[in-house]
């Protein structure tokens, strides 16, 4: 039985989509049990009793705009997100899923679950949409604004193991996000990281990737520092939002456009769906001593369900143990 701790109060629309996602996951997967942390009176309208569900009541939770998660943690350990993380620390759960504020989850992850000894930093690794619909791992998407090449290599190793064992990609490749494809492009960080990735036996290096290929590339993993990764993720989001708005405006501006849209309804729906991150799931926090999934703040029940599915698959594949062994072996090799 895979035991998943869920923060019932995280996310823009919590607790409704969270609790509904939990119920759906329990119905779908018979090898999981869930401990749900949150305000019982607020969650009650959506809760059903289930033999594999236990609820732990706490009235305290974080606002999505929380600016001082460290201060909050110091003052109050009974916040739903922190209690869910504590359950992993105490070996009462194998994984955590929260749609709460990202930085709080990163901070709480560090303070409570702690880093794996073999990983020197923690990365935020969302799975972003791709043309082929299978998604790509983008990391670091915001945890480490400034970082060293060696740590990026560790991220690459972790992501490779996830791509192989969870996403079932054969010989997954790691691309370094850069401003040109040739070796020698970019900042010192990029050049040094290129050299490390190229020499590593633990990953399959794709080479540099210019983000004009971000949506079409064959590479499975897109790697950069947390500043650049965040910029790429948000620019994709901004472009998708902007192009969607332009398309809508142009369709609505003529009668023929509106008629066309009726015929095209299903195509446009599939178009929207293939860009919808909720189809794929949340972001993995890679580097913690446990499986921690950050579901989108705006998760609907289906998106949150997918976050739970991801957590289950990460535990089933025993990712943390494999990463730990791979990085330990690497250290022994002196590589």
Which residues lie across from 226 on neighbouring strands?
Answer: none
Stretch that binds a second copy, among 24-32, 39-47, 165-173, 268-276 (CB under 8 A): 268-276
Question: In the complex with a second copy, which residue's Cβ is closer, 94 or 220?
Answer: 220
* Residue 176: how many other CB atoms lie within 10 Å: 25
Binding track over 50-69 against a second copy, x by CB under 8 A = -----------------x--
Question: With contact defined as beta carbons under 8 Å apart, do 181 and 210 qualify?
Answer: yes
**The dihedral of CA 1, 88, 114, 141: what is its sign?**
positive
Q: Is 240 in the site for a second copy (CB under 8 A)?
A: yes
Cis peptide before 166, with omega less than 30 degrees from 0? no
Minimum distance from residue 112 beta carbon to a second copy (Å)? 24
Restricted to residues 271-290, the positions that interact with a second copy (CB under 8 A) are 271, 274-275
Tokens of 247: 């398309």
Between CA 133 and CA 17, with CA 28 as vertex, the angle to 5 degrees is 75
Of the candidate residues 49, 51, 91, 256, the single one contacting a second copy (CB under 8 A): 256
Which residue stretch of 39-47, 79-87, 198-206, 261-269 sits at the interface with a second copy (rule: CB under 8 A)?
Answer: 261-269
Q: Does 12 bind a second copy (CB under 8 A)?
A: no
Choices 20-28, 49-57, 256-264, 324-332; region in contact with a second copy by CB under 8 A: 256-264
| Among 154, 107, 100, residue whose Cα is nearest residue 287 | 154
By the rule CB under 8 A, 195 interacts with a second copy? no
Q: According to the binding rule CB under 8 A, does residue 213 interact with a second copy?
A: yes
Per the CB < 8 A criterion, the answer to whether 104 and 66 are in contact is yes
Pick from 32, 166, 177, 295 the residue near a second copy by CB under 8 A.
177
Please choose, from the candidates 20, 26, 24, 59, the residue with its C-alpha nearest in 3D space to the C-alpha of residue 40.
59
Closest contact distance (angstroms) between CB of 225 and a second copy is 9
Considering only 75, 91, 263, 333, the residue that binds a second copy (CB under 8 A) is 263
Q: Residues with Cβ < 8 Å from 165, sequence gap 6 or more?
A: 317, 318, 319, 322
For residue 273, the minimal CB distance to a second copy (Å) is 9
Single out the residue of 128, 119, 195, 217 nearest to residue 167, CA to CA. Answer: 128
Stretch that binds a second copy, among 75-83, 88-96, 197-205, 238-246 (CB under 8 A): 238-246
Q: Which stretch binds a second copy (CB under 8 A): 20-28, 75-83, 162-170, 258-266?
A: 258-266
* One residue of 28, 54, 235, 335 binding a second copy per CB under 8 A: 235
Kindly indicate which of the ranges 166-174, 234-242, 286-294, 295-303 contains the residues binding a second copy, using the contact rule CB under 8 A: 234-242
Number of residues that bind a second copy (CB under 8 A): 58
Residues 32/47/285/314 CA torsion (nearest 10 deg): 10
Please state the separation of Cα 228 from the chain's center in Å: 16
Asked if residue 228 binds a second copy (CB under 8 A), the reply is yes
Among 62, 127, 232, 293, binds a second copy (CB under 8 A): 232
Q: Which helix (H) or strand (E) holds 41?
A: helix 40-43
Q: Phi-psi bin for 174: left (phi > 0), alpha (psi -120 to 50), beta?
A: beta
Contacts of 225 (CB under 8 A, 6+ apart): 140, 144, 145, 146, 147, 152, 189
Q: How far is the CB of 263 from a second copy (least distance, A)?
A: 3
Under the binding rule (CB under 8 A), the answer on residue 318 touching a second copy is no
Closest CA to 177 of 169, 163, 189: 189
Instruction: Name the residues that contact a second copy, by CB under 8 A.
Output: 67, 130-131, 142, 145-146, 177, 179, 182, 186-188, 210-216, 226-228, 230-232, 234-243, 245-247, 250-251, 253-254, 256-257, 259-268, 270-271, 274-275
């Amino acid at each position: 039985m895979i035991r998943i701790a869920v923060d019932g109060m995280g996310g823009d629309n919590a607790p409704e989509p969270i609790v509904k996602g939990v119920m759906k996951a329990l119905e779908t997967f018979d090898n999981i049990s869930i401990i749900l942390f949150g305000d019982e009176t607020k969650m009650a309208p959506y809760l059903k009793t289930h033999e594999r569900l236990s609820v732990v009541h706490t009235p305290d939770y974080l606002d999505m705009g929380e600016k001082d998660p460290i201060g909050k943690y110091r003052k109050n350990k009974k916040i739903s997100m922190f209690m869910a993380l504590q359950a992993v620390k105490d070996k009462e759960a194998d994984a955590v899923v929260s749609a709460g504020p990202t930085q709080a989850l990163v901070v709480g992850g560090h303070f409570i679950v702690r880093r794996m000894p073999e990983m020197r930093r923690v990365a935020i690794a969302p799975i972003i949409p791709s043309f082929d619909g299978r998604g790509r791992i983008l990391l670091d998407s915001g945890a480490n604004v400034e970082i060293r090449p060696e740590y990026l290599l560790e991220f690459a190793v972790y992501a490779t193991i996830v791509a192989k064992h969870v996403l079932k990609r054969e010989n997954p490749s790691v691309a370094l996000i850069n401003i040109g494809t040739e070796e020698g492009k970019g900042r010192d960080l990029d050049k040094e990281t290129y050299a490390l990735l190229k020499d590593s036996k633990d990953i399959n290096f794709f080479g540099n990737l210019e983000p004009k290929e971000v949506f079409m590339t064959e590479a499975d993993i897109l790697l950069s520092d947390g500043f650049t990764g965040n910029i790429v993720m948000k620019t994709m989001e901004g472009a998708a939002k902007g192009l969607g708005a332009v398309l809508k405006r142009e369709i609505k501006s003529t009668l023929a456009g509106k008629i066309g849209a009726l015929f095209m309804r299903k195509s446009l729906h599939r178009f929207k769906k293939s860009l919808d991150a909720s189809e794929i799931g949340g972001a993995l926090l890679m580097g913690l001593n446990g499986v921690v999934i950050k579901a989108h703040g705006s998760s609907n029940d289906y998106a949150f369900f997918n976050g739970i599915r991801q957590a289950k698959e990460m535990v089933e594949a025993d990712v943390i143990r494999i990463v730990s062994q791979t990085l330990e072996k690497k250290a022994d090799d002196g590589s």
